[in-house]
Structure 1
Amino acid sequence: MHLPDFQALLKRSLSPASPSAIALTRQLARGSGDAAGPHVANALAAELSGLDDGRLGEYFAVVANELRAEWQTVIHQLNLAERGTALLVDLRRRLLALAKSRPELAQLERELQKILTSWFNGGFLTLRRIDWDSPASLLERLMKYEAVHPITSWPNMRRRLAADRRCFGFFHPALPDEPLIFVQVALTREISPCISAILEAPVAEDQAPTTAIFYSISNCQRGLNGIPFGNLLIKRVVTALHKELPSLTTFSTLSPIPGFRRWLERSGEEKTGLSDGDKALLEMPRWWDSPESFKALELPLRRAAARYLTCASEGRAADPVAHFHLSNGARVERINWGANLSDSGLEESYGQMVNYRYRLDRIEKSQEDYRLGRIARTRSINSLLRTPMRMPFFGSDVQSRRSVAHG
C-alpha cells in the first residue's frame, strides 16, 4: 500500500461517521409522517451541526451507500427541525466542497439542490429594498457577502445607500434575516465607463435620473449555488425602479470580465489577435502606469476582449458573467478600457470592464437569439471584431452565423 493510501485509510479510521447520526437518519427514513418526526429531526440536526468535515463526509458516504433511496425523505423530514431549511442550505454548502474529492457524494448533492430549487422558487421570494435605515445586522451581512467591489467601511456602506443609489435583495420566509442575493444600482444620466465614476463620485441630487447602472450582484448563500435567482432579481428590480422613477429609460450594467486574462494567457495569437510585442508590454512591471504602454495596449486588448465576450462553446458564452446577462436578454454594449485598475481588476481582465444593456423592448428577442447561438452586440463591438476568427459555437465557427448587431 502506498503511503498516501495508508494515510487516507488511517484518517478515515480515526474519523468514523457518527453512529447516533446514522441511527437517527434511519429512524427519520422509516418514520415519514410519524408524530415523533420533528423531535427526531431536531436531534439529527444537532448531531450533524456538530460534525467536522471529516466525520460529515463519512456520514454522507454511509447515506450514499445504504440510504440513497431514502435520502429525499430524510431531507423533507430534516426540514421539520427548528431552522431546518437553514441547516439544509448549510449542509449543501458542505456537500459541494466534500463532493469535489468524494464523487460518490455528488448524487446526494444534486438531489438536495433539486429540492432546494423547488423551495426557493420565485413565488416564495420577497424583494426588499435595503437602505441606511435597515438593521445594522443586515448591513453587516452585506459587507460580508459583497463579492464584486468590497465594502471597506461604514462610510463606504453609507455612500452605497445614498439618495442616488439603490440596493435590493431577495429574502425567503425560512431565512428572514439572511439575504439570498442582492444587487447594487447607481442612478445616473449616462452609462458609466469606469467603476470609480460610481464608487468615488459625490452624491448627486438629480431628481430625474435617466440611467440605472447595475454594478454589483452578489450571491450570499453558497449552499444555494446553481439556483437561478439573478434573472428574476433583475426583472423585479427593473420593475420596481420604473415604478419609483419613471424618468429611467436606460438599464445597463458595469460588469467585470472575470475569465478574460486566463483565456488570453491560454490562447494563441489566432484567437486573441495579440502580437508578441503586445505580450512583451504586458510583461512589463506596472505597465498601466506608463502612458505609452497604456495607450499602446488599449486597442489590442479591447479587440481581444470583444473576441472573448462574443465567442462561445457548447451553447454558452465563455465568460460566466457574459453568459448570465446574455441569457437574461442583455446585449454587449461597450468595452471600457482602464475601467478598474484595482488589483482584482488587473488580475481578471487587465483593468477592462463591460457594459451589458437591457433594452426592455428587445429582451425576449435577445434571449431567443442567444438560445439560437447569436450574441446580441452593438456596432461598436462589431467594429472591434474586424479580424476574422474561427471559434467553436454549437460545432461551427462564429463567422458561419450572423451576429445580432444593434446601433
Structure 2
Amino acid sequence: MNSEDEKKESGGRSQKRIEEALKAFQDVGAEDSPFDKLFPGLKSHYQSLEEPEKEGLFKGLIEQLEVKKAEIDPLAKALLACQQDDPRWASLLADFRNRVYSPRLNLFRKISRSPGGLRFLLDFRGDLLSIRRHSRLDLDPLDSDIVFLLEMLFQEGFIYLEEITLDSAYKQIELIKNRDLIHPMASIEEMGQRLGKDRRCFALYHRLLPYEPIVFIEVALTEGLVRDISQIMAGAGGRKARVDTAIFYSINNTQNGLAGLGLGKTLIGRVVDYVRNENEKIKNFATLSPIPGFWRRYLRPLLEEGDENFSLKSTDVISFFSKKGKGKIMERAGEEEREPLHFNRALLSILSDESWAREEELKNILRSPLIKIAYHYLANEKNRRDKPLNPVAGFHLGNGATISERNINFLANPSSRGLKESCGIMANYIYSSNWLSQARRSLRWFDRVEMRGLFGRKA
C-alpha cells in the first residue's frame, strides 16, 4: 500500500470515528432516550477523538443538531403577518420561541444533570475554545449554547466563596498549591507561607464540584503599591500597622471551559467587598501581574522582523532608545551599522542571554525602552476580536481595571521564568474605588454568591 492509499484509509477511519461520535450525541439527545445507558458510550467516543476529529464533530453538531427551516417557516410567516395588538400575537410568539429552542441546548442540559456531566461539559468547552482559536469554521453557535447553560449553572445559588486558611483541609490547600500556574510552588510549605494575616487566599466553588476550586485568588495586604514580586514571595509576616492596599498577585482559573463567564470578575469583586469590610483602612486594590507572551510571542518576533500581526513594527523598536543607548547596544553586540535591522539583531542577541539582567549598564539602557514597549503591548496591541492581545490585560481591562505606563515595573520578576516570560517586567492593574459598585451593577447575581468558611480576623 502506497502513502496515498494509507492517507485515504486513515482519513476514512477518522471520518468513521467522527460519525460514530456524532450519532452518540444524537442518540443521547433524542427524546425519551435511556440516558444512563447511552452517556458512558458518548464519553468514550468523544474521548477517543483526536483534535482534528473533534473539530469535525463540532461542525457536525452545528449542522445536524439544529432547528430545520421547514419546521419554523409556516409559524414565522404567521408571526410576520400578525399585528402586535392581535390577540394571537403572544401565543404565536411563545410557540415560535419553543420551536427555535436549540436541540443542542436540550442535549447539553441532559448531560449536565448526570453524575460527571458537568465535568464533561467543561472539558468539552475547553476543547472547543482551544480549537476555535485556529479554526476556519464558525463554531460560535455551538459555544453559545454551552455558554447559555453554563451561565445558569454558575450563577446564583450554585457558586460560593470560601477562604483558604491554615485551618482549611489539607486537600484544599494542596489543590490550590498544585493549581497555581502563575507562581508555582515546589512544596506545601510554600503554600503555607502564602496564608496568614497579611497573605490571603480565596476560592470560588460550585456545588456540583465541591472539592475543586473553579477559580482562586491570592492576596497580599501591604502598605502602598507593591512593584516587585520578591516583596510578596518573602512570605506572610506580622500585619503592618499601616496596611492600606490589597494586591492580587495570583489569579488562576482551573477550568478552561469557564473562560469568559465573568467568574474571575465575581471573585475579585467579592474579595474586594470582604477585605474592605474586614479592614476599613484598606482603600486601594491593584494587581501585580505577569505579562505572559511579551518576550516569546511579541518582542522577540518583532526583533526577528515578524511584525505582520502587530501595530508596532520592527523598524519602530529602535525609536524607543536614546542615541547613547543605541550606540551601547550596538557596541555590546559587536554590530557596526546602525540601521534598524542591525539594531534589532543586536538587541535580540542581548535579550536572549539572561545575564543582561545582572549588568547595571545594560539595565539602565533597557529600563525606559522596555517599559514603553511593554505598555504599548498591553494597551494598544489587539487580537482579531479587537481585544487586548495579552490575555491577562484582556482579563483585567475587560473587568474595568486600568493600566498606565507608570505602573509597568521593570525587572519586577528577575527569575529565569520571569525573564523568559516578559524580560522580568510585571504590571499593576488598578481597580478604582468605585469599581465595586460598577461590578455590582454589571453582575446582577453578584450579591447572592454565598460566603463560607470566612474566619473573622481583627483588623
TM range, smaller chain: 0.7 to 0.9
2:400 aligns with one of 329, 332, 335: 329
Aligned residue for 1:332, secondary structure, equals: coil
Return closer, same or farther for 1:164/1:78 CA change in 2, 3 Å cut-off: same
2:359 aligns with one of 290, 298, 301: 290
Task: Report the Cα distance in structure 1 between the residues aligned to 2:23 and 2:408, rounded to whole angstroms.
Answer: 58
Aligned residue for 1:331, secondary structure, equals: coil
Task: Report the Cα distance in structure 1 between the residues aligned to 2:110 and 2:438, rounded to whole angstroms.
Answer: 43
Identity of aligned residues (%): 30
Higher-Rg member (1/2): 2
Aligned residue for 2:280, secondary structure, equals: coil
Residue 79 (str. 1) matches residue 125 (str. 2) = no
Return closer, same or farther for 1:111/1:63 CA change in 2, 3 Å cut-off: same
Output the TM-score relative to the length of structure 1: 0.77
Shifted more, 14-23 versus 332-341: the winner is 14-23
* Cα deviation, residue 209, structure 1: 2.2
Task: Report the Cα distance in structure 2 between the residues aligned to 1:20 and 1:316, rounded to whole angstroms.
Answer: 37
2:298 aligns with one of 252, 255, 263: 263
Task: Report the Cα distance in structure 2 between the residues aligned to 1:57 and 1:320, rounded to whole angstroms.
Answer: 23
Return closer, same or farther for 1:133/1:71 CA change in 2, 3 Å cut-off: same
Return closer, same or farther for 1:292/1:59 CA change in 2, 3 Å cut-off: closer
Does 1 or 2 have the higher relative contact order (CA < 8 Å, sep 6+)? 2
Residue 274 (str. 1) matches residue 345 (str. 2) = no
Task: Report the Cα distance in structure 1 between the residues aligned to 2:20 and 2:376, rounded to whole angstroms.
Answer: 56
Aligned residue for 1:182, secondary structure, equals: strand
Amino acid at match of 1:113: V
Shifted more, 80-89 versus 199-208: the winner is 199-208
Could you give the per-residue CA deviations for residues 66-108 of structure 1, whole angstroms, max 9, x where no partner exists? 3344322211222232221112112222334455676558243
* Cα deviation, residue 362, structure 1: 6.2
Task: Report the Cα distance in structure 2 between the residues aligned to 1:312 and 1:22, rounded to whole angstroms.
Answer: 39
Aligned residue for 2:428, secondary structure, equals: strand
Could you give the per-residue CA deviations for residues 329-385 of structure 1, whole angstroms, max 9, x where no partner exists? 32225221110112232123211111122221367799xxxxxxxxxxxxxxxxxxx
Task: Report the Cα distance in structure 1 between the residues aligned to 2:374 and 2:277, rounded to whole angstroms.
Answer: 35
Task: Report the Cα distance in structure 2 between the residues aligned to 1:322 and 1:26, rounded to whole angstroms.
Answer: 40
Aligned residue for 2:320, secondary structure, equals: coil
Aligned residue for 1:283, secondary structure, equals: helix
The alignment's C-alpha RMSD in Å is: 3.3
Q: How does 1:320-399 map to 2 (within 5 A)?
A: 320-332=391-403, 334-361=407-434
Aligned residue for 1:129, secondary structure, equals: strand
| Structure 2: gaps of 5 or more residues | 68-102, 303-312, 330-343, 440-459
Aligned residue for 1:341, secondary structure, equals: coil
Are 1:127 and 1:169, in contact at CA under 8 Å, matched by a contact in 2? yes
* Cα deviation, residue 185, structure 1: 0.3
Are 2:356 and 2:363, in contact at CA under 8 Å, matched by a contact in 1? yes
Task: Report the Cα distance in structure 2 between the residues aligned to 1:101 and 1:309, rounded to whole angstroms.
Answer: 22
Return closer, same or farther for 1:326/1:62 CA change in 2, 3 Å cut-off: closer
Amino acid at match of 1:283: S
Amino acid at match of 1:76: R
Task: Report the Cα distance in structure 1 between the residues aligned to 2:162 and 2:389, rounded to whole angstroms.
Answer: 32
Aligned to 1:17: 17
Greater share of strand residues, 1 or 2? 1
Amino acid at match of 2:210: P
Task: Report the Cα distance in structure 2 between the residues aligned to 1:344 and 1:81, rounded to whole angstroms.
Answer: 41
Aligned to 1:237: 271
Return closer, same or farther for 1:24/1:352 CA change in 2, 3 Å cut-off: closer
Task: Report the Cα distance in structure 1 between the residues aligned to 2:417 and 2:272, rounded to whole angstroms.
Answer: 28
| Structure 1: gaps of 5 or more residues | 367-407
Output the TM-score relative to the length of structure 2: 0.69
Task: Report the Cα distance in structure 1 between the residues aligned to 2:6 and 2:217, rounded to whole angstroms.
Answer: 46
Q: How does 1:1-400 map to 2 (within 5 A)?
A: 8-15=7-14, 16-17=16-17, 24-31=24-31, 34=32, 37-40=34-37, 42-44=39-41, 46-48=43-45, 51-53=48-50, 60=58, 62-69=60-67, 70-98=103-131, 106=139, 107-121=141-155, 124-201=158-235, 203-206=237-240, 209-261=243-295, 262-265=297-300, 266=302, 267-270=313-316, 273-275=319-321, 276-277=326-327, 278=329, 279=344, 280=346, 283-284=349-350, 285=353, 286-313=355-382, 316-332=387-403, 334-361=407-434
Return closer, same or farther for 1:68/1:133 CA change in 2, 3 Å cut-off: farther
